[in-house]
Structure 1
Amino acid sequence: MQKIIQTIIFACLAFMPAWVFAHPGHDHSHVGFEAGFLHPFTGLDHMMMALALGVLFYSAVKQWKLVGVLVMSIALVSGFAIGVEHLIPENFAEYGIGLSLLAVAVALWSKSKVILPVATALLVTFHGVAHGAELGQSGHLIGLVAGMVTAMVMIYIVGLGFGKFIVDHIPYGKKIVGALAAFIALVGLA
């Protein structure tokens, strides 16, 4: 039985990049800041992760909440630069996204205040690599990255505010955030 479970887990991990490949089919009629800014608002994966990370960072790692904005911004820009230069193959970036989602899920489950920021930085970096590889040739790179970072920071800050509201003003707020963490972990693993 254990051998069957191991085989299923291995098969799921082998196909994980196809499940998390949320980057094809972008609208290339916009370039620069506008394209970068609009992109996070057009994909459920981006909205959900940025909001959820804000909520989770507020409740789980309070001392990192403002540093998280800086770390996520640097990670996204660094990943984008790596992707534009194709220093990491795009398929590898997709594996990185999937595995870093798994690491975020493990960090949330184990309530690790060290692994969560590191896994989040990896997740954002690999997303940057995937976006840089795909969108890097569309022109106006600085505007594109600036728009994407601006939008993601805005969504993340809204998530921080939402996390503060849940934890401070809703009965059983910590339990609700725990349920959200479990949901995000399941979505990430699915």
Structure 2
Amino acid sequence: MNVRRVRAVPLTLAAMLTPTLAFAHTGVGDTHGVVHGFMHPVTGLDHILAMVTVGILAWQLGGRALWALPTAFVAAMMVGGALGVAGVDVPFVELGIALSVVVLGAAVALGVGAPLAFAIGLVGFFAIFHGHAHGTEMLDDAGVLAYGIGFMLGTALLHLAGIGLGFLIGRFAESQGQSCVRGAGGLICVAGLLIATGIL
């Protein structure tokens, strides 16, 4: 990874965290086009934390997980989005999204060395809830495809930011890298609990 790109990761992450601390799936506003789809996952704290944490977890596990976890999330999110567009009910969507932040944050905090297949299944399971939330807000018209492409791009960017963040912490904190990553996971887990209880 080129040093200039590595240095840009914190700025990108900060820019993404700036817009709002509210949920991204309130059902308000225009959901047409690539730009609106792109902004959907990057303007809600719950989505940002979950997707960045997938990237951090992928970095933490290393190897094939670097591409397999983000890919699994995006693929399962597409399935969840299709269910939402089709009007298929998925129970406890908001709770599932909040719990994704809690569980993924805890996995990072505990440094869980889970088998890749298990990690993929866990990430994919939670992605269904995120995708459903996006899908229910897509309007059934020509803007659906563009909106879907936009939210997948936004999600992929958040995963890359998470991988970059994990790399930066590990690289520049040297021997304390894993401790820093685990501390970040703990904070994410706490944020997820606050989101689940409606405090945040």
TM-score if structure 2 supplies the norm length? 0.72
Amino acid at match of 1:43: G
Aligned positions of 1:31-42 closer than 5 A: 31-42=32-43
Q: Hey, what does 1:17 align to over in structure 2?
A: none
Q: Which one has the bigger helix percentage?
A: 1
Aligned positions of 1:116-155 closer than 5 A: 116-137=119-140, 140-155=143-158
- The C-alpha deviation readout for 1:87-145, integer Å capped at 9, x for no partner, is 124x5322332444444345443714244432222222111112211334475111111
Query: Runs in 1 of length 4+ with deviation above 4 angstroms?
Result: none
CA contact (8 A) 1:61 1:113 kept: no
Q: Distance in 2 between matches of 1:103 and 1:141?
A: 31
CA contact (8 A) 1:107 1:116 kept: no
CA contact (8 A) 2:81 2:133 kept: yes
Structure 1: stretches of 5+ with no match in the other structure: 1-19
Shift of 1:182: 1.0
Q: Percent identity?
A: 27
Q: Hey, what does 1:26 align to over in structure 2?
A: 28
CA contact (8 A) 1:103 1:119 kept: no
Structure whose CA Rg is larger:
1
CA contact (8 A) 2:23 2:45 kept: no
Shift of 1:166: 1.2
Structure 2: stretches of 5+ with no match in the other structure: 1-21, 195-200
Q: Distance in 1 between matches of 2:45 and 2:36?
A: 16
Shift of 1:156: 1.0
CA contact (8 A) 2:53 2:162 kept: yes
Question: What SS does the corresponding residue of 2:153 show, helix, strand or coil?
Answer: helix
Q: Distance in 2 between matches of 1:187 and 1:138?
A: 36
Q: Hey, what does 1:5 align to over in structure 2?
A: none
RMSD: 2.5
Q: Hey, what does 1:72 align to over in structure 2?
A: 73
Q: Distance in 1 between matches of 2:113 and 2:192?
A: 17
Amino acid at match of 2:185: A
Q: 1:188 aligned to 2:167?
A: no
Q: 2:182 aligns with which of 161, 170, 178?
A: 178
TM-score if structure 1 supplies the norm length? 0.76
CA contact (8 A) 2:35 2:147 kept: yes
Shift of 1:180: 0.9
Q: Distance in 2 between matches of 1:32 and 1:186?
A: 34
Aligned length: 169
Amino acid at match of 1:94: E
